[in-house]
Amino acid sequence: MASKCIIFHLSLHSATPQYPKLPSLSPTSLSLAVKPGKFKTKRCAILTPRASSSSSGRFSIGKRLDEFDPHPKLTNDDLLPTLPSQRNYHWWRLASHWIGIVVGVPAYYMAGSLVDLGMAWWQGIATVVAANMILLVPLVLTGHPGTKYGISFPVLARSSFGIRGAHVPTSLSALVGCGWYGIESWIGGEAIYLFLPNSIKQSSFSQVLPWLGTSPLEFACFMAFSFAQLAVVWKGMEGIKTFQKYAAPILMVLTSFLLVWAYVKAAGLGHMLTISSRLSTSEFWSLFFPSLTANISFWATIALNIPDFTRFAKTQWDQIIGQAGLPIFMGAFTCVGLAVTSSTQVIFGHVISNPIQLLGQIGGFTTMVLAILGISLATMTTNIAANVVPPANALVNLSPSNFTFRRAAVFTALFCIAFQPWRLLKSSESFIYTWLVGYSALLGPIFGIVLADYYLIRRTKLSLDDLYSLSPDGAYYYSGGFNSAAMIALVIGILPAIPGFLQKVGILSSVSDIFVVIYNNAWFFTSSSAALLYWILASLTIE
């Protein structure tokens, strides 16, 4: 039927690699019907792979599309390569995506947390900016295959970990994403709780339950905000993109209002400049490196899953320029957070580092409305893009026949309860050194393995049809669907960081200094060691 056809279109514009001149192809060799029972579509679409075949030649230009036959267990509408009509992200759309993610309560906390631990104001901001400049490199590198092939991270991971082995890295990333979803939802729930009538907040429901670690009322606010976000997610990626498009400028305006208010009330921002370091030189460097790792880990989940977004970019130039603003946006917003926080000492006589409590302290009906709007938008833009998409795509990849993006998002909202975010946020030290640094040891090796495979082993050439094939002859089937080289590199990459983590959470009383150093630099150590080991093993085993 014409309504179920897919046209295979050769996109040979400046953003794609240049290919040798090909003989002319007849239209009939490029347009044909989809096999019955595979997919349901109501319109004729165009599938545009932006790369030549892999060295195996399995997805060469001019090949009949009926040979691109994705296995139903490996795909659904959410996992297929994006169509040209879906690739509508210009660089400013990706930039607004990052603005929406950066402007949030956790980012507001970052530099303030470092100052709270003893750094000078400029040291805290410099640490945040340096971390984001470092992160920008793997961010752009990981985003490249998303734009080139139109594939999400779970599909990309099949190249390095194997068709079935990809479930391991995507599941680890999804777990961290669920934890972050809980943290952001707890922050949004705090905003709801803050503006409840006092009669409700003073009721028996506001009493803390020891076994739960929080009150039933706060928990109810947390769950309410958690599920309220699903209204945006329910419309899928298009709903998320539209939400970010309009939320970003609103957040910039509200942030500017908060900064102007602090400037006027505190008669300038000079108080921030008086914050000096309380650390000796050796103490500073002991704090700097784990803080650098923590700030890199802050975006590690979305940086790993950035193909989920760059697959919608029009060109590589758009994805690179669109992401280049991250260090600027993050540095500017943490500077605002630190400036406003330091001003509260002058305005109220004591420091208020929590922006939700600050907005409640300012008072007034207009302020309350703006506070609810601002915190809700800031939290939702960050949470939906950074912490819903990765777990949802991982679950869809795990079982495409059972999970749609919507179902996976609902599961994420439920599963985040297990992380008990109210405990993770109990102190700056537990948030930074237990949560952020801890999960960097899990995600670092995945970064290293995926990038080593794509750039050093594959030389950026992938076979699209093999990424969706369960054939034992497929390029990414390896042994039973698992790439042993990637699995070995992942485990060995993580192991050295475990003693330091156990010592940090109190399970071990003391460990060797070398393990402390490894843990404090977990992302750097695990990503580089796993990449090197994988490159060696894969070079010996992959033809």
Q: What is the pLDDT of residues 41-53, one digit of tens each?
A: 333 333 434 433 3
| Domains defined along the chain, listed by start | 71-419 (1.10.4160.10)
Stated as kind and residue range, the H or E segment containing 172 is helix 167-194
Stated as kind and residue range, the H or E segment containing 47 is strand 45-47
Give the model's confidence band at 1: pLDDT under 50 very low, under 70 low, under 90 confident, else very high.
very low
Picking from 375-379, 413-417, 439-443, which range would have the lowest pLDDT averaged per residue? 375-379
Instruction: Sort residue 434 into left (φ over 0), alpha (ψ -120 to 50) or beta.
Output: alpha
Predicted local distance difference test score (pLDDT) of residue 237: 63
Query: With contact defined as beta carbons under 8 Å apart, do 155 and 418 qualify?
Result: no
More confident residue, 165 or 427: 165
Give the CB-side neighbour count of residue 260, counting CA atoms within 13 A.
6
Concatenated DSSP letters of 358-399 = HHHHH--HHHHHHHHHHHHHHHHHHHIIIIIHHHHHHHHHH-
At 289, list the tokens: 């490196």
Predicted local distance difference test score (pLDDT) of residue 33: 35
Average pLDDT of the chain is 79
At 142, list the tokens: 């990981």
> Residue 304 phi/psi, 5° resolution?
-70, -35
| Position 17 pLDDT exceeds 70 | no
Give the model's confidence band at 241: pLDDT under 50 very low, under 70 low, under 90 confident, else very high.
low
Query: With contact defined as beta carbons under 8 Å apart, do 390 and 304 qualify?
Result: yes
Cα–Cα distance measured from residue 30 to residue 32, given in angstroms and rounded to the nearest whole number: 7
Q: Where are the alpha helices (DSSP H) in 195-229?
A: 198-201, 216-228
| Model pLDDT for residues 531-541, shown as the tens digit of each residue | 999 999 999 87
Predicted local distance difference test score (pLDDT) of residue 258: 82
Alpha-carbon separation of residue 360 from 113, 194, 355, 357 (angstroms): 21, 7, 8, 5
Cα–Cα distance measured from residue 51 to residue 104, given in angstroms and rounded to the nearest whole number: 37
Give the residue-averaged pLDDT of 54-76: 54
At 88, list the tokens: 């509508």
Residue 300 identity: A
Q: Is 409 helix (H, G, I), strand (E, B) or coil?
A: helix
Predicted local distance difference test score (pLDDT) of residue 542: 64
Q: Is 286 helix (H, G, I), strand (E, B) or coil?
A: helix
| Model pLDDT for residues 312-328, shown as the tens digit of each residue | 999 999 999 999 988 99
| Position 68 pLDDT exceeds 80 | no
Cα–Cα distance measured from residue 436 to residue 442, given in angstroms and rounded to the nearest whole number: 11
Concatenated DSSP letters of 269-296 = SHHHHT------HHHHHHHHHHHHHHHH
Query: With contact defined as beta carbons under 8 Å apart, do 295 and 131 qualify?
Result: yes
Query: With contact defined as beta carbons under 8 Å apart, do 73 and 469 qualify?
Result: no
Residue 479, strand partner residues: 482
Percent of the chain exceeding pLDDT 90 equals: 28
Residue 117 identity: L
Give the model's confidence band at 142: pLDDT under 50 very low, under 70 low, under 90 confident, else very high.
very high
More confident residue, 275 or 219: 219
Give the model's confidence band at 305: pLDDT under 50 very low, under 70 low, under 90 confident, else very high.
confident
More confident residue, 531 or 510: 531
Give the rounded distance of the alpha carbon of 349 from its chain centre.
37
